[in-house]
Structure 1
Amino acid sequence: MTQAITHLSIGLGWDPAHANGLHPRRKDIDLNVAALSFAGENFVDVAFHEQLTSRDGALRHLGDSVTGEGDGDNEVIVVDLALLDPVVTTIVFLVTSYTGQRFDQIANGFCRVVDNVTGIELVRIDLDSVGAHTGLVVGKLHRPYQDWAFTLIGQPIIAQHVVNAVPQLSVYLH
């Protein structure tokens, strides 16, 4: 029997843009990770770089990186399902390129979902495999039965900001 998911995180990492002879003033790369909660098809709340904590405290963005500097996860959202508003039926995880670079133009970009109780990495996606897109619906937490489960979606979208992505998410809420 597998243990029910109660606490997980989504991490996002990438390398900063570096100037070189061809691109002496290269634009910084700013990727963002978001967790959006829904009750059925109705948007409830979000945690992302402009709102670090959901109203119920269940979704917490641990800080915005605007350059990708540093090793490992540059941005992390933690989810504590014990705090989640009981009306929430689905949490969708999203990555967007706020500065507009396509994922295939970003060095060493990745996102990963980790069960924080077991330490097991549930999924890892190398963003260059997503191709010429600026958004990625990573996956969702939902309750297909009684317990919460994570389902990989891995679908690219065109979105630089959460607001642009929300209308594209309804297909994943069933």
Structure 2
Amino acid sequence: MAISLSKGQTISLAKTGSSGLSKVFMGLGWDPVKKKSGGFLGKLLGGGGGDNIDLDASVILLDANKSAVDTVSFNQLKSKDGAIRHGGDNLTGEGEGDDEVIYAELTKLPTNVSHLVFTVNSFRGQTFNEVENAFCRLVDEANNEELCRYTLTDQGTHTGVIMASMTKTADGWTMTAHGKPCTGRTVKDLVQDAVSVI
């Protein structure tokens, strides 16, 4: 059974029952806030129906010194080393389950990569007041087992969130839930915030 993480909590992935974790994916999902219809006038003023929310899931690769080595996002669907790939861009947030997925072959990562920081940002500048049910979940690809999940509860006028990070330790990988609000429309805008949570 998957572990539900609270903000700031770190768990050892070696203790989740998955020995020799090699291939994982991070599924990220969200829904547009359902807006109340305000009739004809409300629709004219932008109050009708739920709008599409175009959030972008990305990952920032950091070395032990917290320097950015690479990023993977809708702009660059694969890391330079090929160990991480993005499953593609979702422009609406509609539908059940994962909206965007990032796949990682942990055993193929370069030895200098110590941290994977998973982010979500709004390219169009829509704020997280327009988003609900945002979550990220880490899945062991070998057996399709969900290892842990973090559900974001905070809304606000920010346009980005550092959702979670994975860190390589002597005993294997750990995962930490962050839920840190930040400002930025692309993954490059979030690098400094990513560094600050590690």
CA distance in 2, matches of 1:74, 1:122: 17
Consecutive unaligned residues in structure 1, runs of 5 or more? none
SS at match of 2:119: strand
Shift of 1:105: 1.8
Asked whether the 8 Å contact 1:98–1:160 carries over to 2, the reply is: yes
CA shift at 1:72, angstroms? 1.4
2:149 to 110, 119, 123: 123
Pairing 1:10–2:26 present = yes
State the 1:16 CA deviation. 4.9
AA aligned opposite 2:154: V
How much has 1:58 moved relative to structure 2? 1.3
Which of 117, 128, 132 pairs up with 1:103? 128
Q: Secondary structure at the match of 1:148?
A: strand
Counterpart position of 2:108:
83
| Ranges in structure 2 where 5+ consecutive residues have no aligned partner | 1-13
Please state which structure has a larger fraction of its residues in strand.
2
Cα deviation per residue 1:93-123 (whole Å; 9 max; x = unaligned)? Answer: 1111222222232243333222334502412
Conserved 8 A contact 1:4-1:148: no
Larger radius of gyration between Structure 1 and Structure 2: 2
**TM-score (normalised: structure 1):** 0.84
User: Aligned to 1:163, what secondary structure does the other structure show?
Assistant: helix
Equivalent residue in structure 1 for 2:54, among 23, 26, 30: 30
Q: CA deviation at 1:37?
A: 0.6
RMSD in angstroms over aligned alpha carbons? 2.4
Quick check: 2:115–2:168 contact (8 Å CA) kept in 1? yes
Counterparts of 2:163 and 2:113 in 1: how far apart (Å)?
18
Judged with a 3 Å threshold, the aligned counterparts in structure 2 of structure 1 residues 26 and 71 are, in CA distance, closer, same or farther, namely closer
Give the match's secondary structure for 2:133: coil
Give the number of aligned pairs. Answer: 171
Query: Of the two structures, which has the highest relative contact order with CA contacts closer than 8 Å and spacing of 6 or more?
Result: 2
